[in-house]
Every structure is written in structure tokens, then in C-alpha cells.
Amino acid sequence: MPEQNRNAAEVVADRVGMTFAGGHVAVADASFAIGGGEFVAIVGPSGCGKSTLLRMIAGLMAPSAGVLRVGKGVAAGVTRGSGRIGFVFQDPRLLPWRTASQNVALPLELDHGPQASRSSCVAGALSLVGLAEADATKTPRMLSGGMRMRVSLARALVTEPEILLLDEPFGALDDLLRQQLNDELERIWLARRPTAIFVTHNVSEAVYLAQRILVVTPSPGRIANDVVVPFEYPRRPELKGTGEFARQVGEVSALLRRAAS
């Protein structure tokens, strides 16, 4: 198991809840801690508040109850050290009027990062996700679905985030592409070691990628189980053929079924 990364963000949630204006309780009483550089998957049925939880961690909405702290050293008591965040949406969500590399450069422009290092950061992020140089000058409509997702991933990585939040990022892709990108994601995580929180409803994907899996119950979303996945990194596609993998997937699926009932 890889060690923790002190330069990555930690997440500490203490009885976090989110009740929307209409009275709908999306998340209730969620308590968990995620260490720096950990890869954690959040699985649960649709509409269980997984995305709301992720948005709260991103700081896009404030919890209506409890305390949620994100940043370097928050586990040791630093109040809020909100660091650099990378967010990957379910769809690539690229700006159609910008080329791939201009899309990747966007967060740097918005953050007013130093102009000089921008192009090298962009080139670094693009090569990290395996996008050919020739494709960097293409606009999203000239790229395939998988390529767009890679650009989207590069955009999230370009600021060298301390925490990478992924909201069902490969859900819309076909299975082969999805497996390919899962392997890429694992490689990138091992290379950069940000804290990664991966929301999905695909149990096999969660078991393949994560060190830990948080199983969430639907309406209101509560953390029902915190499962440790014992496999070593780097994980290989062959792992999916083993009985141990199938057993782990079966176990999490059973927890998910129990949580949903």
C-alpha cells in the first residue's frame, strides 16, 4: 500500500449534513477521514447524495450541518487550508471555442498563475494524460469521446492539485475506453499522488482503483460502510480475472444492496 502524501490535501468530515432549501435531505451525518494522497471511491445508487458530498468537498456548496475541513494538515487540526482542487465532471465539459491545450490552460488563466510557466504546465498535463501533440491544437469537436475525457482530466491536473475530485467521470464512455482510462487514472495517481476521491456507481471500477470504498445509502445519504481494498499497486487488468477480485466486488455489492434496502 503506498504511503500517505504529506503534500496532498486531507479531508475530515464530522457529522456533515446537507439539507436543501425545499427540505430535501441529500446528505446526513456523514463522518469520515481521508488521508493525504489516498485514493477513495464513493459508491452508492443514483441520487444518494454522492455528488452533493463531492461538491461540498470542492467548496462549491457549504454543508448545512456539521464540519467539513479540506486541506493540507487539517487532520492535525489546521482549520481550513483549502488547497488546489481538480474537478472532473461526468461529461468532459470542455469549452467548444477553445483548442484542447487552451482548455487545459483555462484553470491557470483563472488562477492568474505565472504566465511564463503556463505552456510547460499545459504540455506536462497533456502528456501525462497521453494526448498526442498533434491533438493539442484541435478543438473538442474534432476529438473523440475518449480524447475529450483525457483533455478534461488534463485540465483538472494542470494546477497540480492537492486533491482530485472525480464525479462519475467515465460513466458515459464505452466499457473498453472506460477500462483504458481507469488504468490511465491509476498511473497518473501513482505518479502525482494527489488525494483522489472518485464517485461512481460501478462497484468493479471502485474496487479496481481505490484503496478504500465508502458505501453510501440513498435518501438521505449516509456513510453505511468503509471498506478497505487490500490489493497492491500498480494494479493490472489481469486482477479483474482473479477470484479474490470477484469476492471483493461481491462483498461491496452486497453492502450496497443492504444499504439500498
Q: Which amino acid does the sequence have at 23?
A: G
Pairing mode of beta strands 222-228, 10-19: unpaired
Alpha-carbon span 129 to 123, nearest angstrom: 10
Minimum gap (Å) between residue 93 Cβ and other proteins = 5
Helix (H) or strand (E) holding 246: helix 243-260
Q: Which is nearer to other proteins, 172 or 254 (CB)?
A: 172
Query: Between 55 and 178, whose beta carbon lies closer to other proteins?
Result: 55
* Binding-site ranges for other proteins (CB under 8 A): 55, 58-60, 85, 87, 89, 91, 93, 95-97, 106-107, 109-111, 139-142, 159
- Which residue has 456539521 as its cell numbers? 66
* Nearest distance, CB of residue 240 and other proteins, angstroms: 31
CA dist 30 → 16, 43, 67, 183, 220 (Å): 5, 14, 10, 30, 10
User: Judged by CB, which is closer to other proteins: 151, or 213?
Assistant: 151
Our CB check for other proteins shows the closer of 64 and 139 to be 139
Rg of the chain over Cα atoms, rounded to whole angstroms, equals 18
Helix H segments across 129-210?
145-157, 175-192, 203-209
Least distance (Å) between residue 96 CB and other proteins: 4
Residue 108 CB, nearest approach to other proteins (Å): 9
Neighbours of 4 (CB within 10 A): 15
Nearer to other proteins, 195 or 248 (CB): 195
Alpha helix stretches (DSSP H) within 41-174? 50-58, 100-110, 115-128, 145-157
Residue with smaller CB distance to other proteins, 87 or 189: 87
Q: Could you tell me the smallest distance in angstroms from the CB atom of residue 224 to other proteins?
A: 27
Least separation in angstroms between residue 248's CB and other proteins is 32
Sequential DSSP letters for 141-154: GGS-HHHHHHHHHH
